[in-house]
């Protein structure tokens, strides 16, 4: 298989950390989704902007991916949970890039309330959805992982 982890990470790099671990373990390439406009670093301001965006269905502009997805048969999508769903940047990716014919895995990082993020990704994906996983971190947006390393490693080991 040729696999790539496509991920978005904004607050403290939780999703990036998991993406890197998947890359190291499976040999998958990594590609970060970046918004054209930065959300800034004020946590409360990001929370309220994100809530407005999600409530109104706003899709932000994202920079073109640095990877050519046609080269990959397996795509592993990673998103932080924003207001119980995927971050708008990941929704933008799902809209712009057609995953038809690809094997799709997804993971979310969250702070205790995973909501419907993975279900929403599965619904938007036109690929073959193989499996997904939720990784829990501190409830206050911190970087302390609560999901055990064994559980995470077992999920990563099943990626093929």
> Which is nearer to ligand FMN, 103 or 155 (by Cβ)?
155
Cα 138 to Cα 160: distance, rounded to the nearest angstrom:
29
- Closest approach of Cβ 24 to ligand FMN, in Å? 17
> Which is nearer to ligand FMN, 27 or 112 (by Cβ)?
112
Judged by the rule CB under 6 A, the positions of this chain that interact with ligand FMN are: 9-16, 46-47, 50, 80-84, 109-115, 137, 141
- Closest approach of Cβ 15 to ligand FMN, in Å? 3
- Closest approach of Cβ 18 to ligand FMN, in Å? 8
């Amino acid at each position: 298989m040729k696999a790539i982890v496509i991920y978005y990470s904004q607050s403290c790099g939780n999703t990036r950390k998991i993406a890197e671990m998947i890359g190291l373990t499976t040999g998958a390439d990594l590609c970060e989704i970046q918004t054209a406009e930065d959300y800034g670093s004020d946590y409360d301001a990001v929370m309220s902007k994100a809530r407005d965006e999600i409530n109104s269905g706003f899709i932000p502009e994202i920079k073109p991916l640095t990877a050519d997805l046609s080269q990959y048969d397996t795509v592993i999508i990673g998103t932080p949970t924003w207001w119980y769903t995927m971050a708008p940047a990941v929704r933008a990716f799902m809209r712009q890039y057609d995953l038809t014919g690809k094997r799709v895995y997804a993971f979310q990082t969250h702070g205790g309330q995973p909501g419907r993020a993975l279900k929403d990704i599965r619904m938007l994906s036109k690929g073959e959805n193989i499996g997904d996983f939720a990784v829990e971190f501190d409830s206050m947006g911190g970087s302390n992982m609560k999901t055990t390393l064994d559980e995470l490693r077992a999920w990563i080991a099943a990626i093929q």
